[in-house]
Chains A and B, each alone.
With several copies, the nearest count.
Chain A
Amino acid sequence: MQKVHRMPVQNQFMTSYMETKGGKMMPILSYIQAVTQAMKEEMERDEKVFVLGEDVGVRGGVFRATEGLYEQFGESRVIDTPLAESAIAGVGIGAAMYGMRPVAEMQFADFILPAVNQIISEAAKMRYRSNNDWTCPITIRAPYGGGVHGALYHSQSIEAIFANQPGLKIVMPSSPYDVKGLLKAAIRDEDPVLFLEHKRAYRSIKEEVPDTDYTLPIGKADIKREGSDITIITYGLCVQWAIQAAEKLASEGIDVHILDLRTIYPLDQEAIKQAASKTGKVLLITEDNKEGSIIGEVAAIISEHCLFDLDAPVKRLAGPDVPAMPYAPPLEKEFMINQDKIEAAIRDLAEF
C-alpha cells in the first residue's frame, strides 16, 4: 500500500554538518532531489539508461523520485510497469544482459521480496555462472527504513536479506551528496547494485550538492567525522543521528569518530579495521533488527582483526528483534533508533 507520509523537515539535522562542508555556493538539494538529479543526468549522458517501476511515469513515483523524467524522456524510457516486482527485476535483468542500463524502482523496499529469486539467483550470479561471458549492470533502487508511520510493511530494513550474496553490491547512502555520487556510480557499475534510500531522509536531509558530474566509489566507506575517543560505524539515516549525537557530546568532551559504511556489501574491511583500532571503543548502529543484521558482520570483522586494539566490548545499537516496526506512534518510537539512544550508548562506552 502506498505510504508517503508528510514528514516534518528536520533541518536541525544538517546545520552543523553543512557548516563543515563550507566554502563556495552550491545548490542545496534534499536527499530525494539528489536521487532524481543523478538519474536525470545519467539518462542525459547515456541513452541506454532507462527507468522502470510502478507509478514512475506520469505520477513521478509515489515519493516523486522520478519527477520530471517522464516529461523529459518519454514513456519508452520511463516505464510504468504492471504491479509485479519479479518482472520488474527480471525484465530489467534481461535488458541489462542486452546492454542496457536499467534503473528499476521497487516502490518500497518491503516489496522487493517477490523479486528475491531474480535478484539473488539471476542478477548476482550472472557474471560468475557464465564465466564472465554475460553481465548484468542493473541498478535496483528501493526506499527503506522507518519513522514514517509506515507500519510493518513500509518501514523495513531489508539489506540483511541480500548482504550475503557475492556478485551483488549494496549501497545505502546517508546524505544528498553521497546519494548523487553513489547512484551515478551504481548506474555505471558493470554489476548489479541494490541502492537503498532511506524514506525518512528523502525530505528531511538537505545539503549542498554540486550540479556537476561526479561519482563516489562503491565499496569504500567514508569518514564522516574524525574523532579520537569512540568509533561509531553505521550507515544510512543513522549516520545523521550519529553526527547529531557526536556534535552534542563534543561539548561534553567526548570526541566521536564516525565511519559511514556507504556500501554495506561487500564491506570495506580496511576502513572498518582502521576505524575500530583508532579509538578501541566501537559502537555499531543499525535501524534493522539486531540479530543477523549487517552490523553483526562488522563486529565479526573487528573481532577477527582488531581484538587486541579493543578497550571495551563491541557495542551494538539496533532495532529490537521483533518482526517489524508497528504503526501506533508509541510503538514505532520504541523501535526506532534516535539521537538519545545513540548518546546514551556513547556515554556508556565512554565510561567503560
Chain B
Amino acid sequence: MSENKHQKLGLSNQDLIEMYRVMLLARRIDERMWLLNRSGKIPFVVSCQGQEALQVAASFALNRSEDYVAPYYRDVGVVLSFGMTAKELMLQAFAKAEDPNSGGRQMPGHFGQKKNRMLSGSSPVTTQVPHAVGIALAAKMENKSIVSFVTLGEGSSNQGDFHEGLNFAAVQKLPVITMVENNKYAISVPLEKQVACEKISDRAIGYGMPGITVDGNDPLAVYEAVKQAADRARNGEGPSLIEAVSYRLTPHSSDDDDRSYRKREEVEQAKEKDGFHTFAAYLREQNILTDEKLEQMEQEIKEEINEATDYAESAPYASPESIYDFVYGN
C-alpha cells in the first residue's frame, strides 16, 4: 500500500482519516467490552477485531444517509459508520432500557436502529439476507435509488437462506450487495470443513451475478469493490456478491476458548496482517496520520468510551413489567 491508491478511488485524505477514526473507535470499544466482560460487568461480548477495516471501508463506499444495511453480529465497524454511537453500543452491552437496538432485550451484537436504516437482526444466522433482498425489492418498486447492503460470515453462507436470497435478488435484478466477511472460522470449524470451493465468491456465477474476492485487510480494495457494486446496483444492473477475507483475531465470543482448535502462531501471524494496523501504516506513509494526530484521536475516543461506559453502567434497566410491551402493535 505504498503509492497513493486512495485518490484514484475518489477518496480524500479527510475521508481516510474519518474511516480510520471509525476503525479505531470500533477496536477500542471492542477492547473495552472484553475488559468489562472479564471484570464481570457485562455477560457477553462478540468481537469485531480483525474485521473493522473491511467493515468501515465497505460502509464508506455506500450512501450512509440513504442506503439500508442489514449487519451481522460482528459489524461494530458497520454500525458505527451508519450512525450508531459508542454510548448506544455501551447501552446495548449493559442491556439497558435506552439501548436503541432492543432496549436491552437482545444480546450484544444484535443490531438494529430504524432511524439509521439498520435492520433489526436476530441470532439465527443468515436470515438477514432475504430481508435485505426485500428492502431492495421495495426500493425498486418505489423507484428509490437505494442500495441494500447485507453482511454475514463465511460459515453462514452455507445456510439455505443465502442461496434462496441471492437467487431471488438475481432473478429480480435487485440493488443488493451481499458481503461475506470470511474470517476463516465458524466458531471452531476451519474454512476447509465449511466449504470445498476455492472462494466464497465462486458462488456468484451460480446466481448470475458478479462475484469478487478481495483482501479484507486492504480497506481500499474493499472500498473499491463495494463502490463498484453500489454503482452497478444504482444503475439497475442488479446484485453483487463480495467476499472480504480477513481473520477473526479473538475467540468466537466471550464464551469461547479458541486454544483447543487453533494454534497461537496462526493467530499471531494474522495479527500482523490486520488491516487495522496496515491501514494506519498506509496513512502514515501518506502523511495523513501523524503520531500527534493519532494520540489526539486515541484520547478523544478514550473519553468518549469512558463517558459511554459510565453512562450505560448507571443507566436503568427496563422495568420487569415492560416485558409485556410490544408483542403486538394493535
Which A residues lie at the B interface, using CB under 8 A? 1-5, 50, 54-55, 57-60, 62, 76-77, 79-87, 89-100, 102, 108, 110-111, 113-114, 117-118, 121-122, 125-135, 149-154, 166-167, 169, 189-191, 320-323, 326-331, 333-335
Contacts and interface: CB of A to CB of B under 8 A. Distances in A.
B155 A82 contact: yes
A333 B109 CA distance: 22
A114 B261 CA distance: 27
Given A83-B189, A131-B103, 18 more contacts: A1-B107, A58-B188, A80-B189, A81-B168, A82-B195, A83-B194, A87-B167, A91-B130, A91-B133, A94-B148, A110-B124, A132-B326, A133-B114, A135-B329, A152-B123, A327-B104, A330-B318, A331-B322
B1 interface: no
B255 A94 contact: no
Nearest to B252: A2
A3 B106 CA distance: 12
B189 A55 contact: yes
B67 to A, nearest CB: 12
B138 A90 contact: no
Contacts of B135: 94-95, 97-98
Interface in B125-174: 125, 127, 129-141, 148, 155-156, 158-161, 163-165, 167-168, 171-172
Contacts of B186: 54, 82-83
Question: What are the 10 A-B residue pairs with the smallest beta carbon separation, nearest first?
Answer: A94-B134, A90-B130, A153-B123, A131-B103, A87-B164, A94-B131, A59-B188, A190-B329, A328-B104, A98-B138
A150 B43 CA distance: 10
Contacts of B225: none
Contacts of B125: 83
Contacts of B321: 334
Given A97-B131, A167-B327, A328 B95 contact: yes
Contacts of A80: 188-189, 193
A146 to B, nearest CB: 12
Nearest to B160: A86
A330 B130 contact: no
Interface residues of B, number: 84
B164 A90 contact: yes
A154 B73 CA distance: 15
A339 B70 CA distance: 41
Interface of B: 43-44, 46, 68, 70, 73, 95-97, 99-107, 109-110, 112-114, 119-120, 122-125, 127, 129-141, 148, 155-156, 158-161, 163-165, 167-168, 171-172, 186-189, 193-195, 252-253, 255-256, 260-261, 317-330
Contacts of B327: 127-128, 166-167, 321-323
A126 B327 CA distance: 9
Contacts of A132: 325-326, 329
Given A5-B43, A93-B131, A328-B318, A129 B120 contact: yes
Contact of B168 (A55, A91, A322): A91
Nearest to A321: B327
Contacts of A93: 130-131, 134
Given A82-B158, A86-B160, A128-B327, A94 B119 contact: yes
A175 B127 CA distance: 34
Which of A84, A97, A113, A118: most chain B CB closer than 10 A?
Answer: A84
A99 B104 contact: no
13 contacts: A1-B46, A57-B188, A80-B189, A90-B130, A94-B133, A98-B138, A113-B124, A118-B161, A126-B120, A129-B106, A150-B107, A154-B123, A322-B327
Given A94-B132, A118-B127, A50 B323 contact: no
A208 B68 CA distance: 46
A130 B136 CA distance: 21
Nearest to A112: B124
Contacts of A97: 119-120, 131, 134-135
Given A99-B138, A131-B326, A90 B105 contact: no
Contacts of B326: 127-128, 131-132
B93 to A, nearest CB: 10
B120 A327 contact: no
Given A90-B164, A93-B130, A334-B323, A84 B328 contact: no
A151 B317 contact: no
B44 A114 contact: no
Given A58-B261, A327-B105, A76 B131 contact: no
A11 B181 CA distance: 43
A335 B141 contact: no
A91 B134 contact: yes
A190 B327 CA distance: 11
A127 B112 CA distance: 11
Nearest to A192: B328
A93 B330 CA distance: 18
B189 to A, nearest CB: 5
Contacts of A329: 95, 317
